[in-house]
Chains A and B, each alone.
Chain A
Amino acid sequence: MAGTASAGAICVAGCSCRSSSRWEFLSDAQAETLAALADQIIPEDDFPSASQAGVIVYIDRQLMGPYRRHRDAYQAGFESADRISREFCGVALAQAPPPIRQEVTSALAEQRSDFFELAREHIMEGYYGSPRHGGNRDAVSWRMLGLEEPPLRGRAKYDLSKGAGS
């Protein structure tokens, strides 16, 4: 019953709060749930976490575009994550303490649920992909990997009169 209740709550939040949400598709509550999950997939260390790097912006934006077709999967996934979280500690994922968030993520991962695989893929894309789509803010993941941004290689050497590498 808790699951049904939370599903209803999320739906209401998703419908009624849309206009006041700072997101394009997600409700504030859904964005918090996604951030809780995303920051387990890519946690903060010396470099930003997924949500700190704009991954929620990335996914939210794509859900209005190419990932429109995954909306139902996300809705169902948020419900499922919150259900597991409530089983573990009585509150939704976004309100759960970090150790519980990790356990919930492990549970989702062990199920190899379609939602977990989808969300993992999208979170990684947002973090390691091109900054233009809202994630990888300031190319932070590329800098983390030691890649120049903006890339200087080639440009600095580029000289029509000499040929490459000369």
Chain B
Amino acid sequence: MNRANAVIVGAGAAGGIVAKELSTAGLSVVLFERGPWYTPADCRKDDLRNQRTTVLGNAFGPEDRGFPRVVVDAGGVARIVRPSDNAYQNNAACVGVGTLSYGAQAWRYMPQDFRMKSVYGTPPGSSLEDWPIGYEDLEPFYDQAEYEIGISGDYAPDPFHGPRRRGLPMPPLPPNREWEILEPAARRLGLHPFAIPMLRNSVPYNDRGPCMRCRWCVGFACEVDAKNGSQNTVIPQALATGNCRLRTRCTAMEILMDESGHACGVEYIDENGRRERQLSDIVVVSACAIESARLLLNSKSRLFPNGLGNRYDQVGRHLQGHYYTGALGYFDRDTYDDIGPGASIAVCDYNHGTPGLCGGGMLANEFIRLPIHMIDRLPPGTPRWGHGHKQAMREWHRRTIIVMGPTQQIPTAEARVTLDPAVKDKWGAPVARIQGNCHPHTFEIGTVQAQRAQTWLQEAGAIHTTLMNSRPQMISAGQHQAGTCRMGTDPRNSVVNQSCQLHDVDNVFVIDGSVHVSNGGFNPALTIMAIAYYASGALLRGWKGARYRS
């Protein structure tokens, strides 16, 4: 394939969907992924080396050697971090990217989440804005993602969600013990608990079986392939069209430009470490918020000396993720039943509508805590070592519940990705430099959310609770990273238009969480998927026919 209609950089939640939509429409597609393609046999269930607990490294990439980043703390001190360090803000490097090993929560944002400025105004110092598109624009594509990728759950008890054309394709998993403890307590508090929607088979779907309810979910690949990501849905479909070629272990380094100001392909490092070029009519950047911004910034040319799409210094700004807060409750009876994934029940009563607060977030119970996760989560006053600690592990491991949630971050333009002036990756390209924090109002909201989680746990019978609301010193983006190529109508304060097309270059698209103007009070995966379907449609409507077909 000498020249392709489209090159897509990154085979994650968005890139996989764009590959499937474009190849199904007849375009020739090359899908680049810097990591390998793992299968359910790579699940491993390793408590010390997965994508969430990384003390022995990342299970699904990137590897620690050769791919550093630089993070700048609140005091302005820069340090080099490895991919397995928390501060790295890693997602993953593999086919499926985060969707291989995520917990698979599948949330639609609420209508208000797209109109944050209109609903709340803009807190001074923040960059809170409305999206140029609304919930109603994405609703058909949320629906498409829910049915094509596959979601279980039941929205009926939740009165706060936006209008839906139909229910979910699969019922929720049967309740676990934490559900049985938390559900009546939430009702007594006047809340509206319901089953967390999940990109997870509860019954056979898409020719794969249901969740086996094991202990190892978030951070792990699924042993029985019951979690639905791009790697086991849309990417195989794209390949089956015969129009899509997946290039694993190939890393895009730069978007190539012709003299007329159009993109003409990408330069990449292939699986053997050779620098190669793939020419194309269209380039789609779907590398997750941090690496998508880095790729644009590393694509410097005569017309775009400061990076592609970066004429107004907007690329990389408004980096956001979520501020997770909540509470840990200790009980005088067993709460643990070893039935995965553990996370089961949520409320959306607190996403919006609290006077004085710009939004809020969903609250839910946490995934199963493996023993390794309990070491520093024992009741205050527990000895940190010795007989007392060991005894406390036995006493409390089965008697805790964590309720927490992704507090919507109020963005700032200063939380951003730039290129580090000195540090390079193993291929010689400047690495991402991450700095800044979300707006301080975020921490006020998060603390109120933590107190609400505490109240819920107390109502459920917790004999002791501790708040989890420590304030991070820098932006907490990680697997929920978003915002670096903001969608908007004005090139002076956004990077892409409402079709996810660069304002400056009409054949380059950014389609992933980068385009989120705000990031909702929810896990972002389903919204990234909906945007991928939505933007693919817009792209295809503008497609005037190939200049070349292989």
Query: A residues near B, CB below 8 A?
Result: 40-43, 45, 47, 62, 65-66, 102, 105, 109, 120-121, 124-125, 128-130, 132-133, 141-142, 144-148, 151, 153-155, 157-158, 160-161, 163-166
Contacts and interface: CB of A to CB of B under 8 A. Distances in A.
Contacts of B209: 158, 160
A163 B210 contact: yes
Contacts of B48: 125, 129-130, 133
Contacts of B385: 40-42, 105, 109, 120
A118 B209 CA distance: 42
Q: Find the residue from A120, A141, A158 having the highest chain B CB count within 10 A.
A: A158
Contact of B384 (A109, A130, A133, A157): A109
A121 B389 CA distance: 13
Interface of B: 45-48, 55-57, 64, 84, 173-174, 202-204, 209-215, 224, 338-340, 371-372, 374-375, 384-387, 389-391, 393-394, 397-398
B166 to A, nearest CB: 21
24 contacts: A41-B385, A41-B389, A42-B389, A43-B386, A45-B390, A45-B391, A105-B386, A109-B385, A120-B384, A125-B372, A129-B372, A130-B46, A141-B393, A145-B394, A145-B397, A147-B338, A151-B214, A153-B215, A155-B214, A158-B209, A158-B212, A161-B204, A163-B204, A164-B210
Contacts of B374: 128
Contacts of B204: 160-161, 163
A154 B371 contact: no
A164 B212 contact: yes
B337 to A, nearest CB: 8
A165 B175 CA distance: 9
Contact of B386 (A40, A129, A148): A40
Contacts of A41: 385-386, 389
A6 to B, nearest CB: 24
Interface of B is mostly: loop
Contacts of B384: 109, 120
Contacts of A45: 387, 390-391
Given A133-B48, A158-B224, A165-B213, A62 B56 contact: yes
Given A109-B384, A164-B212, A130 B394 contact: no
A4 B324 CA distance: 48
A162 to B, nearest CB: 8
A165 B398 contact: no
B173 A148 contact: no
The residue among A43, A45, A62, A153 with the most chain B CB atoms within 10 A of its own CB is: A153
B340 A132 contact: no
A102 B386 CA distance: 9
A164 B56 contact: no
Contacts of B389: 41-42
Q: Which of B46, B202, B209, B398 has the most CB of A within 10 A?
A: B209
Nearest to B398: A146
Nearest to A164: B210
A166 to B, nearest CB: 8
A37 to B, nearest CB: 10
B211 A164 contact: yes
B47 A154 contact: no
Nearest to B391: A45
A154 B56 contact: no
Contacts of A145: 371, 393-394, 397-398
A141 B371 contact: yes
Contacts of A66: 55-57, 64, 84
5 nearest A-B residue pairs (beta carbon):
A154-B212, A165-B174, A163-B203, A128-B371, A160-B209
Given A43-B387, A128-B371, A153-B213, A144 B394 contact: yes
B371 A157 contact: no
A129 B385 CA distance: 16
B326 to A, nearest CB: 23
Given A66-B56, A154-B340, A147 B371 contact: yes
B390 A42 contact: yes
A43 B390 contact: yes
A125 B55 contact: yes
A129 to B, nearest CB: 4
A142 B214 contact: no
A132 B43 CA distance: 14
Given A128-B372, A165-B213, 16 more contacts: A41-B389, A45-B387, A62-B56, A66-B57, A141-B371, A145-B371, A147-B215, A153-B214, A153-B340, A154-B212, A158-B224, A160-B204, A160-B209, A161-B204, A164-B203, A165-B174
